[in-house]
Each structure stands twice: as C-alpha cells, then as structure tokens.
Amino acid sequence: QASLAESGGGSVQAGGSLRLSCLASEYTVGKYCMGWFRQSPGKGRVGVASILPDGTTKYIDSVKGRFTISQDNGANTLSLQMEDLKPEDTGMYYCAAASRWYSGPCEARAVTSYGFQGQGTQVTVSS
C-alpha cells in the first residue's frame, strides 16, 4: 500500500513563500500521475497542480505563475514551490498519487480522484 508523507506547511504573510514536500513509500514517483490538492473551509477539495510521468505540469488558473510542481525520482519525492502566496491559498494541502488502475486524466482538477493521498500539511496565509 502506497504511503505519502507531506511536510513543509506553515504560516506566512501574503506575498511569502513556502515549499511543500511529499515523500513516497511503497510507490515509485514518476511512474504515474501525481499532484497536490487543497481543502479549505467552505470550499471543499480543489486540485491545484499535477505532473505527468514525462514531467509535463498542469495548474489551475489561480496558481499559474506562482506555484511550481516538481518530482525528484531519485529521492522519490514530490514538491510544490509556492510563491507570492495569497490569503485564498490557505488550506490543508495534500499530496496525491494515481494508482495503477487510475484511467482518468492527469489534469490538476482531477488530482482529488487519483487514489492515494497523504495526511496533509496546513498552509495559512495572513493578509
């Protein structure tokens, strides 16, 4: 069973930066689609970024130009670099990984359907 462990969350002021990391166990980073989604009070779960095995990245419009998703196959780690953070970016951020049976799209908005997820790391952005 795949295990995903997020780290790197915290509290920052608007305009600040954070880097989230996701260490995968019993799962090979770079083999299937992976991504990040967040859950915010009153907004539900929203996929924000995804990455395909070939390294192609996808983002929702609200984070384009500010967030960068990347994968390190050697370290078996997925990362999300977040710049120019805004209060609306506040939420619990989860790493997600597609199972071998996942047949849906590798789009950012589909991340919540991938199959495996971690426990999450909290990001709080104050104005």
Q: What is the pLDDT of residue 41?
A: 84
Q: Is the pLDDT of residue 21 over 90?
A: yes
In this prediction, residue 39 has a pLDDT band, given cuts at 50, 70 and 90, of very high
Q: What is the pLDDT of residue 34?
A: 98
Rounded percentage of the chain residues whose pLDDT exceeds 90? 93
Alpha carbon 101 to its chain centroid, in Å, reads: 20
DSSP string, 22-62: EEEESS-TTTS-EEEEEEETTTEEEEEEEE-TT--EEE-GG
